Chain A
């Protein structure tokens, strides 16, 4: 079985500051991990994915995430926040292969202020 915990339902940063969104997972099999972003009244868009290759994964819009097996974590970071990064971010986990369940965390809403 898989599950995801996102620490912090709301995160607020200043423009230009580091963004750190936390995700811890539980999985009984080697996991595939994902970060998605959702802008208001829209569907979900993939930011990046981990599929057991490189542990440091780079995504779109300057985001990256590092898979740490020992910590069961997959935190999302961006060195310098932009106003356009304000959105809701979801971490998700599945077993290897697209035929598995895909389970999401509760989400973190990121606010960016001037």
Chain B
């Protein structure tokens, strides 16, 4: 099993450009998450999807949109990239089974906006 797969791994954007970060999981998980990681700030939740067809804002949603395309895939879109969105982005997924509530993470996407 691949687990959680994120593409691309690295990306450089110019200010104002748009892009979509892709995330797919093959563990049949219901919930999926997008985080950004910045030095000294830990992981901050951007958006999450508790199940197929639902999405909710996290701690830092401004400047981002998401789509839960199906149960496997959860994409994050930057419509007009800004230097403040330079960060490492992580996707995660987890089951709703109470005994196995831990999240599994992808390897991250390192995004630089110049």
Contacts and interface: CB of A to CB of B under 8 A. Distances in A.
Do A and B come from the same complex?
A: yes
17 contacts: A9-B40, A43-B108, A45-B105, A51-B98, A96-B98, A97-B96, A97-B101, A98-B31, A98-B96, A98-B98, A98-B100, A100-B50, A101-B56, A102-B92, A104-B43, A104-B44, A107-B42
Contacts of A100: 50
A102 B103 contact: yes
Given A43-B90, A44-B90, A44-B92, 11 more contacts: A43-B107, A44-B43, A51-B99, A97-B101, A98-B95, A98-B101, A101-B45, A102-B94, A104-B44, A106-B40, A107-B43
Contacts of B26: none
Contacts of B50: 99-100
A74 interface: no
Contacts of B35: 104
What 6 A-B pairs have minimum CB-CB distances, sorted nearest first? A106-B42, A99-B50, A43-B105, A104-B43, A98-B96, A98-B94
A46 B43 contact: no
B96 A99 contact: yes
Contacts of A9: 40
Interface string B59-87: 10000000000000000000000000000
Interface residues of A, number: 26
A46 B59 CA distance: 22
Interface of B: 29-31, 33, 35, 40-45, 48, 50-51, 56, 58-59, 90, 92, 94-103, 105-108
Contacts of A34: 102-103
Interface of A: 6, 9, 32, 34, 42-46, 49, 51, 90, 92, 94, 96-107
